[in-house]
Amino acid sequence: MLDQIIEEAGNDNHKPAFVKIPKQWLPGFIRWPIKLFLLPFIWLDVLAQAIAKALIRPPFKKVGACKKRGNCCHYILIKKSKGFSDKLDLFWHTQINGFYRRDKALHEVDGMKIHLMGCRHLKKDGTCGIYHFRPMICRMWPRIEYFGQPQILKGCGFRAEKR
Ligand code: SF4
């Protein structure tokens, strides 16, 4: 089912199904200091990864540009963790990152259980409402790693090319 959703989302005229977005119950005066505290660590992580990739190049490189279709923010795939850590993950993604569950169902991709989420910060013009404060998961997308195939959604303005 998730494959079908993602496949359809890749079509140019795709409109995501309406989802009633639940309110975040964690107040902003708690959420934002946590985000600000973590920001330098996110920058350091991004910098370390950029240096590592400059020194040892992955087999693929990212080319192209964002088309601002918003699909990577409408369809965020979060791997389900085991036991209580899944509850913590869900808390983190929904209350700190600002994501919401598009449905309560668990989806399956390559044998993994997946939560399908959207993001409250996506603006109508397809841009990010908290660009400079966006979470790590957003900064790392599309995923082009050393091993495995690059992960890019169908219809995305980016593509992966072999070096
Ligand atoms: S935080 Fe920004 S980049 Fe990340 S999913 Fe939300 S709108 Fe997209």
Residue located nearest, by CA, to atom 5 of ligand 1 = 73
Report the alpha-carbon distance of residue 88 to residue 33 in Å, rounded: 18
Does the pLDDT of residue 1 top 80, yes or no?
A: no
* Ligand 1 atom closest to 119 (CA): 6
Report the alpha-carbon distance of residue 150 to residue 159 in Å, rounded: 9
pLDDT tens for residues 33-71?
Answer: 999 999 999 999 999 999 999 999 999 999 999 999 999
pLDDT at 149: 84
Of 94, 95, 122, which is best to mutate to test ligand 1, by the most ligand atoms within 8 angstroms of its C-beta? Answer: 122
Report the alpha-carbon distance of residue 4 to residue 11 in Å, rounded: 11
Distance 52 CA to ligand 1 centre (A): 25
pLDDT at 145: 85
Ligand 1 neighbours by CB, cut-off 6 Å: 73, 76, 119, 121-122, 128, 130, 134, 138
Residue located nearest, by CA, to atom 8 of ligand 1 = 73
pLDDT tens for residues 20-34?
Answer: 999 999 999 999 999
pLDDT at 130: 97
Neighbour-count burial for 22-46, b at 16+ CB within 10 Å, e otherwise: eeeeeeeeeeeeebeeeeeeeeeee
Residue located nearest, by CA, to atom 4 of ligand 1 = 138
Domain boundaries, the chain: 2-13+22-162
138-147 mean pLDDT: 90
Confidence at 148, pLDDT banded by 50, 70, 90: confident
Does the pLDDT of residue 157 top 80, yes or no?
A: yes
* Tokens 């993994």 -> residue: 112
Distance 1 CA to ligand 1 centre (A): 23
Residue located nearest, by CA, to atom 2 of ligand 1 = 128
Does the pLDDT of residue 110 top 90, yes or no?
A: no
Mean pLDDT, the chain, integer: 93
- What would the DSSP string read from start to end of 98-120? -EEEEEEEEEEETTEEEEEEEET
pLDDT at 22: 93
pLDDT at 146: 86
* Ligand 1 atom closest to 118 (CA): 5
Does the pLDDT of residue 19 top 80, yes or no?
A: yes
Report the alpha-carbon distance of residue 1 to residue 10 in Å, rounded: 15
